[in-house]
Chain A
């Protein structure tokens, strides 16, 4: 009964979405306020029904109803409750349902909080949202229905893929989807603007916070995914330049560029047409990510054949929305008025430069991911594009970008003074040079690149701090005045300082981890001691243990530093009987921002075990950086200016609303 209710709720959501895709547009054509307002009610009702459908699937998983195929294939009655819940989106059908739930959530938010939007703009935005939603409801109902029953219900499920039985699954996919799908709002606003043929202040005021919300979640989602891979997959890497990873990364540089161009648009009314294009591109890349991951084209072109309906269906959705969006753009963009002028050396100019580098970075990931595919289709030759390619092409783009980052906030709008900005960044530059010199001396000139990269990171962080110091007058005025000014600074200024500093922090982590990582690979017997980066790790012994749905072999290591006992680390190997597969649970010991990492290999016949031990200096900064960025985004989002100055609908429009 629960499965049928969920299924039926989804069908009703589709029906509502179809109404929402057409009636409001008709209303806008006829200038009929009542018809336009239909969008609001349908968006809210849609959210209700999708939520019901999602709750039904969660219910089925929690109660282990194995008469439903999706539950049978991905659950097990002995699985801990948390993994029963997260297992809902640990598979294709369930994750699609999560995808549309989040889409409906964003639609509902626009409907609920969009009272101050011009009514026709709101009607158009919600209609475009409903187009996307209808396409994906159809996709789920036709090709990936999570509520299908089995005629002959089995007694036990097949269990969830053991690698996914981790808290990471609870956090990472929902965050990532909130980011991906969040960009659908900027997409819908862009399409609505193109349909209406104009962009006004309300448009810019609305798009920036929504983009920011999506960007915060995407940033956190990618970072959490990276950390999950780092501790779960067991070889200590945190980014693999894997095509599937690249697919999730692409919307990030595009979204970051969008965030910055939307800023120019909001403040200076310039870059309108470009912002519209970026909105379309960013969501297109999110859709492309969804497609690439689900169709199986990335692993091999032939995997397409294993489930042709899904792949073709989602490719169709992709073509309609990307193709349609870009065609509409080509057709209507010239109708949009160009905005304000600015000199090349100005805040706007700096943000344009940021956009140039970020979109190029995005294009690099795009071609690196899809080129092997295209080449194989065209010539039949197989090539691989992996980490060494991206390290050579993607990474260097961030050098000029990061040099430019501290200059941006120092420049004035319209016409900036580069020399004055450079003077204000003098302290940051000196700090960077000191850092380079110190590192050089300390490492004995070992690696040239690493001190330079860290110098760059220090420059970015110090630049963000000097911006704050400059604005509050710290070091120049008495402390009390500076503190008062600091409180008076707009939150968005604090936000951008945090976000920019986060970039520098992440770079320090990346450089330290890749350059000064120590690794120790050995076969160890009980009482053997491994020496890694000054730490002594003694293998105390191996024990067997029984978990809820797995058996595990646990190794116990005692870690000592200079004869002082620090901690006990217990890496393990888990064997999941239902799936007959095993996972490696690495043990991590955090010391400041650095970590010791132990991962187990195979047991040899004579009771010894293969062990890999890493010391990863400052590795946690890699993820602290994105957290700072997201925190900066959050601060910026809480800026009063985004709310207080929010545009009010014109009087005529209020009249229309009253008539509803």
Chain B
């Protein structure tokens, strides 16, 4: 399925045939390595809106470059990480976040994993208890084989192995 990503990537190239630029250009890098590292970390959480699920850190689209420069501009202006994110969300909406915020409409998205794990665990535990109980019950209700049955069983075993797959 890689190829389909590749195809979308090329479709995208055709759409934005402007001189393609690689992600994070040398001229974008900030002088302060600490601030640059912050910018990179933030870039990885922001989506290039014209690409297929690429972060602006990976993307080559001109828009991604604009966003990268914008992020660095805000950092240079002294914004904190969350201020930069808020600034971009106000401008471009939640769509820009690759990690959606924990809100009412993303409750299911975030909670499914823990719920599935807890629910699955609970179901297993209940199932195990029920089966253990019914299994124990069976033991009590079913006495062992009678002497006659034992003898018959021995006879059967001695004669030939039973076919494994009765039709």
Given contacts A202-B165, A299-B8, A352-B124, contact A363 B116 (CB under 8 A): yes
Asked whether B6 lies within 8 Å of A610 as measured between CB atoms, the reply is no
Which of B1, B29, B109 is close to A293, meaning CB atoms less than 8 Å apart?
B1
Mask, A226-261, CB within 8 Å of B = 1, is: 101100111101001111110110000000000000
Asked whether A383 lies within 8 Å of B95 as measured between CB atoms, the reply is yes
CB distance from A413 to the nearest CB of B (A): 16
Asked whether A601 lies within 8 Å of B22 as measured between CB atoms, the reply is yes
Asked whether A385 lies within 8 Å of B100 as measured between CB atoms, the reply is yes
Interface centre among B3, B14, B100, B132 (most CB of A within 10 A): B3
Which of B5, B13, B17, B45 is close to A229, meaning CB atoms less than 8 Å apart?
B5
CB distance from B161 to the nearest CB of A (A): 10
Asked whether A120 lies within 8 Å of B2 as measured between CB atoms, the reply is no
Given contacts A164-B3, A235-B22, contact A384 B98 (CB under 8 A): yes
Which residues on B sit within 8 Å (CB–CB) of A367?
108-109, 112-113
Asked whether B94 lies within 8 Å of A176 as measured between CB atoms, the reply is no
Which of A356, A375, A387, A647 is close to B55, meaning CB atoms less than 8 Å apart?
A387
A600–B22 Cα gap in the complex (Å)? 8
Asked whether A161 lies within 8 Å of B26 as measured between CB atoms, the reply is no
**B144 on interface, CB distance cutoff 8 Å:** no
A298–B113 Cα gap in the complex (Å)? 22
Interface centre among B6, B25, B52, B113 (most CB of A within 10 A): B6
A90–B124 Cα gap in the complex (Å)? 44
Asked whether B6 lies within 8 Å of A163 as measured between CB atoms, the reply is yes
Question: B27's closest neighbor in chain A, by CB?
Answer: A523
Which residues on A sit within 8 Å (CB–CB) of B95?
382-384
**B77 on interface, CB distance cutoff 8 Å:** no
CB distance from A534 to the nearest CB of B (A): 19
**B96 on interface, CB distance cutoff 8 Å:** yes
Stretch in contact with the other chain, from A99-107, A133-141, A631-639, A648-656: A648-656
Given contacts A169-B3, A610-B21, 18 further A-B contacts (CB under 8 A): A118-B165, A161-B6, A161-B10, A164-B7, A228-B2, A232-B6, A237-B58, A240-B53, A360-B116, A363-B113, A368-B109, A371-B106, A385-B98, A388-B99, A394-B113, A521-B29, A650-B163, A651-B163
Asked whether B94 lies within 8 Å of A382 as measured between CB atoms, the reply is yes
Mask, B8-24, CB within 8 Å of A = 1, is: 11100110010111111
A656–B54 Cα gap in the complex (Å)? 60
A406–B24 Cα gap in the complex (Å)? 42
Given contacts A299-B52, A381-B105, contact A612 B22 (CB under 8 A): yes
**A606 on interface, CB distance cutoff 8 Å:** no
**A172 on interface, CB distance cutoff 8 Å:** yes
Which residues on B sit within 8 Å (CB–CB) of A522?
26
Mask, A582-604, CB within 8 Å of B = 1, is: 10100000000000000111100
Which residues on B sit within 8 Å (CB–CB) of A163?
3, 6-7, 9-10
**B131 on interface, CB distance cutoff 8 Å:** yes
**A146 on interface, CB distance cutoff 8 Å:** no
A610–B108 Cα gap in the complex (Å)? 43
**A445 on interface, CB distance cutoff 8 Å:** no
A647–B167 Cα gap in the complex (Å)? 12
Which residues on A sit within 8 Å (CB–CB) of B58?
235, 237, 240
A106–B2 Cα gap in the complex (Å)? 24
Chain B, interface SS category: helix
Given contacts A344-B128, A371-B108, contact A610 B25 (CB under 8 A): yes
A389–B47 Cα gap in the complex (Å)? 12
Asked whether A521 lies within 8 Å of B26 as measured between CB atoms, the reply is yes
Given contacts A381-B105, A384-B47, contact A601 B21 (CB under 8 A): yes
Which residues on B sit within 8 Å (CB–CB) of A600?
22
Within 8 A of B (CB), among A88-139: 90, 118-120
Which residues on A sit within 8 Å (CB–CB) of B23?
235
Which residues on B sit within 8 Å (CB–CB) of A599?
22
**A563 on interface, CB distance cutoff 8 Å:** no
**B117 on interface, CB distance cutoff 8 Å:** yes
CB distance from B4 to the nearest CB of A (A): 5
Which residues on B sit within 8 Å (CB–CB) of A182?
none
Question: B103's closest neighbor in chain A, by CB?
Answer: A383
Mask, A337-365, CB within 8 Å of B = 1, is: 01001001000000010001101100110
**A566 on interface, CB distance cutoff 8 Å:** no
A-B contact pairs, 30 of them (CB 8 A): A119-B167, A163-B6, A172-B2, A200-B165, A233-B6, A234-B22, A240-B54, A242-B54, A243-B53, A299-B8, A356-B117, A359-B116, A367-B112, A367-B113, A371-B109, A382-B94, A382-B95, A384-B96, A387-B55, A521-B25, A580-B14, A582-B20, A584-B22, A601-B21, A602-B20, A610-B25, A610-B26, A612-B22, A648-B163, A653-B165
Given contacts A293-B1, A384-B98, contact A650 B124 (CB under 8 A): no
**B166 on interface, CB distance cutoff 8 Å:** yes
Within 8 A of B (CB), among A182-232: 200-202, 225-226, 228-229, 232
**B120 on interface, CB distance cutoff 8 Å:** yes
Asked whether B2 lies within 8 Å of A229 as measured between CB atoms, the reply is yes
A173–B135 Cα gap in the complex (Å)? 48
**B44 on interface, CB distance cutoff 8 Å:** yes
Asked whether B100 lies within 8 Å of A383 as measured between CB atoms, the reply is yes
Asked whether A581 lies within 8 Å of B164 as measured between CB atoms, the reply is no
Asked whether B94 lies within 8 Å of A383 as measured between CB atoms, the reply is yes
CB distance from A107 to the nearest CB of B (A): 22
Which residues on A sit within 8 Å (CB–CB) of B164?
200-202, 647-648, 650
**B93 on interface, CB distance cutoff 8 Å:** yes
A652–B167 Cα gap in the complex (Å)? 7
Asked whether B99 lies within 8 Å of A173 as measured between CB atoms, the reply is no
**B97 on interface, CB distance cutoff 8 Å:** yes
CB distance from A271 to the nearest CB of B (A): 11
A8–B38 Cα gap in the complex (Å)? 61
**B78 on interface, CB distance cutoff 8 Å:** no
Asked whether B10 lies within 8 Å of A650 as measured between CB atoms, the reply is no
Asked whether B94 lies within 8 Å of A225 as measured between CB atoms, the reply is no
A233–B44 Cα gap in the complex (Å)? 17
**A386 on interface, CB distance cutoff 8 Å:** yes
10 closest residue pairs by CB, A with B:
A386-B98, A388-B99, A601-B22, A248-B1, A225-B2, A163-B6, A650-B163, A382-B95, A523-B26, A647-B164
**A393 on interface, CB distance cutoff 8 Å:** yes
Asked whether B167 lies within 8 Å of A162 as measured between CB atoms, the reply is no
Asked whether A389 lies within 8 Å of B98 as measured between CB atoms, the reply is yes
Which residues on A sit within 8 Å (CB–CB) of B3?
90, 161, 163-164, 169, 172-173
Which residues on B sit within 8 Å (CB–CB) of A379?
105
Which of A119, A341, A382 is close to B93, meaning CB atoms less than 8 Å apart?
A382
Which residues on A sit within 8 Å (CB–CB) of B4?
244, 293
Interface centre among B22, B93, B94, B96 (most CB of A within 10 A): B22
CB distance from B48 to the nearest CB of A (A): 10
Asked whether B53 lies within 8 Å of A241 as measured between CB atoms, the reply is yes
Asked whether A602 lies within 8 Å of B96 as measured between CB atoms, the reply is no
**A427 on interface, CB distance cutoff 8 Å:** no
Asked whether B29 lies within 8 Å of A341 as measured between CB atoms, the reply is no
Mask, B32-70, CB within 8 Å of A = 1, is: 000000000000110100001111001000000000000
